[in-house]
Structure formats: C-alpha cells, structure tokens
Structure 1
Amino acid sequence: MLPLITRDELRNGIDAGTLVVVDTMPVAYYEQEHLPGAVNIPGFPYEQAAGFTDRYAPDVLPDKSAEIVVYCANVPCRNSEFVGARLRELGYANVREYREGIEDWVSAGLATTSG
C-alpha cells in the first residue's frame, strides 16, 4: 500500500512545483483531462501496468528521488496502485497516491488541463 496524499497537500505541491504528478489513466483519458502538469503512465489494463511503467518511467520520471504522486479516476480505480507499486520496485523512493483521484479534484472545483 502506498502512502497517501490529501487533495490540499497535492494542490500545494503542484502550486509550489515540488511534486511530479503522474496520471495513470489510459492515454485517451489523459489527453481529455488531467491535473495541471501531470505526466502519463497508463495503468490500465492492469495486466499491462508494469510494462507501461517500465517503458515510460525512464523518460517522464528521470529523477528517482523526486516526490511523485500517482492518481487515477477515483477510489475504486486501481491504476495508480499498480503504477505506484511498480515505480517503487524500480527504485523510486518517494511515491504517494492521491487515492480519491481526478473525480475528487474536479468535484472540488479545481482546474484541469487537456492535450
């Protein structure tokens, strides 16, 4: 289980530029809407999450000591669990999960980006 981060902690970290945020939704969902500054490592289908992480992490997360936050759609969504666990296996030391996901972010009226 990954350590959790709250919405307020996440927002403060994004505003301060101290976090690397990883959207674990499939590419089409990421392109439609994601948290500001987030990079994408798809975590679905679950069976492919480790492979996607192995493929994309070296490019989008070059600093293994960075403060990383993974998220997906909502609490039932498990994409971020799979990607986050694989990142830890690959040696990323500081990975947390925003378990409530983008649905919580949007419902709080916070901005997202697309593209």
Structure 2
Amino acid sequence: MLPLVKRDELRKEMEAGNVTVVDTMPADYYAREHLPGALNIPGFPYEDAARFTDELAGGLLPDPAVPIVVYCANVPCRNSELVGARLVELGYTDVRKYREGIEDWVRGELPTESSGP
C-alpha cells in the first residue's frame, strides 16, 4: 500500500512546485478534467495498468527520485494504487497516493484543468 497524502497537503506541495501529480484515469476522463499540471498514466482497464505505466513512465517521469502523487476518481477507484505500485516496482522512490481523488478535490472547490475541446 502506498503512503497517503490529503488534499490540503497536496495543494500546498503543488503550489510550491514540490511534487509531480499523476492522474491515473483513462485518457478521455483526463482530457475532460484533471488536477492542474497533472500528467496522465491510465490505470484502467486494470489489466493494462502495468503496461501503460511501463510505456509512459520513462518519458513523463525521467527522474525516479522526484516526489510523485498518483490519484484517480475516489476512494474505491483502484487505478492509482495499480499505477503507483508499478512505479515503485520500476524504481521510483517517492510515490504517494491521494486516495480521495478528484472528487474530493472538486468538493474542496479547488481548480481543475481540461485538455479536451
């Protein structure tokens, strides 16, 4: 299980530029709405999470020592745990999870971005 981070701590780290945030939702969900500056490594379908992580991590996250926070939709969502665990297996040394996900972020009335039309 990955170490957890709460909304306020994550927001402060993002504002300070001290963390790389990884959205683990499917690409179309990511395009509609994601945390500001978040990168996308899809963790769904679950059976493809490791392959997506293997294919994308090196290009998106070239420094395995950078602090990373993964998130998905909400507490029941498994995407972030699958992607985060695979990042650890690949040698990333500081991976945490925002378990409450984007639903909690939006509930906290914090800004989001979209990359879709």
Aligned to 1:87: 87
Runs of 4+ in 1 over 6 A off after TM superposition: none
Deviation by residue 1:36-64 (Cα, 9 ceiling, x = unmatched): 00000000000000000000000110110
Aligned to 1:10: 10
Aligned to 2:52: 52
State how far apart, in whole Å, the 2-side matches of 1:21 and 1:61 are: 10
Deviation by residue 1:62-97 (Cα, 9 ceiling, x = unmatched): 110000000000000000000000000000000000
Gaps of 5+ in 1: none
Aligned length: 115
Gaps of 5+ in 2: none
% of aligned pairs identical? 69
- Counterparts in 2 of 1:2-41, with a 5 A limit? 2-41=2-41
Deviation by residue 1:8-62 (Cα, 9 ceiling, x = unmatched): 1100011000000000000000000000000000000000000000000001101
Shift of 1:102: 0.1
State the SS of the aligned residue for 2:5: coil
Give the structure-1-normalised TM-score. 0.99
State how far apart, in whole Å, the 1-side matches of 2:83 and 2:20 are: 14
State the SS of the aligned residue for 1:83: helix
State the SS of the aligned residue for 1:55: helix
Question: Quick check: 1:64 aligned with 2:76?
Answer: no
